[in-house]
Structure 1
Amino acid sequence: MNPSATVHFCQNCGPLDFGPLREELTATGLADAVSIVERGCMNGCASPVSMAMQGPGRAIYFFNGVDPAADAEDIVATLHAYLAAPDGWIEDAQPCGRLRFCLVGRVPALSC
């Protein structure tokens, strides 16, 4: 089974341009492994745009201050690190670029 992830964006922070992010996902071979979804308010209103990453058996990451178009390259780099990391727990965030400074929190994967 291929690793997969869902990237959630706060739809209340919009309108959002996902074109560059979808292009970057396709160019790096992640288009089939990653879903992009808009959700209701994610309670990060003080520093929009809110974004979360999650995947089956993986940690959940929550970011604020993300621009899905301007940060497309860093989002995809973070997704590569996320999908390559055991349980989604990224140990070295340097490849994540600017996103490492936007991280608000991470929650370990549930072990149910």
Structure 2
Amino acid sequence: MTAILHLCATCRPGVETGPLRDALPEGVELRLHECLNACGKPVALSVQGRGTGYLFAGVDPVEDAADIAATARTYMAAPGGAIEDARPCGRLRFCLIGRLPAI
């Protein structure tokens, strides 16, 4: 499975994405996206693919780059993107604010 990460470009304009891009595994695309509507806990990030999707808030794209990459790897390895054990996701498991069912 491949994954698309949408990083809110409104939460922190001009946020440095280089360290995050460098940390991401092959098969993950990083896209900046205008407001993800999690303004109370910036920065927002979503992971999406051909299955379940997730929305995170309170993420630091630079400091959390390794945990974001681990989450992407865990997501791509999970059947249908449904992560059953979030421990490999590090701090991001505590930043989860929503899970979207697959359609």
The answer, yes or no, to whether TM exceeds 0.5 is yes
Unaligned 5+ runs, structure 2:
none
Structure with max Cα Rg: 1
Unpaired segments of 5 or more residues in structure 1? none
What is the CA distance between 1:11 and its match in structure 2? 0.8
Equivalent residue, structure 2, for 1:99: 92
Percent identity, aligned pairs only, is: 50
- Deviations 1:27-56 (Å, cap 9, x if unpaired)? xxx23x111111111111100001000012
Report 1:5-24 matches (<5 A): 5-14=3-12, 15-24=14-23
Letter in 2 for 1:87: G
Runs of 4+ in 1 over 3 A off after TM superposition: none
Q: CA RMSD in A?
A: 0.9
Q: Which amino acid aligns with 2:11?
A: C
Structure 2 CA distance for aligned equivalents of residues 16 and 55 of structure 1? 24
TM-score (norm: length of structure 1) = 0.87
Q: Out of 71, 82, 92, which is 1:89 matched to?
A: 82
Equivalent residue for 2:41, pick from 36, 47, 59: 47
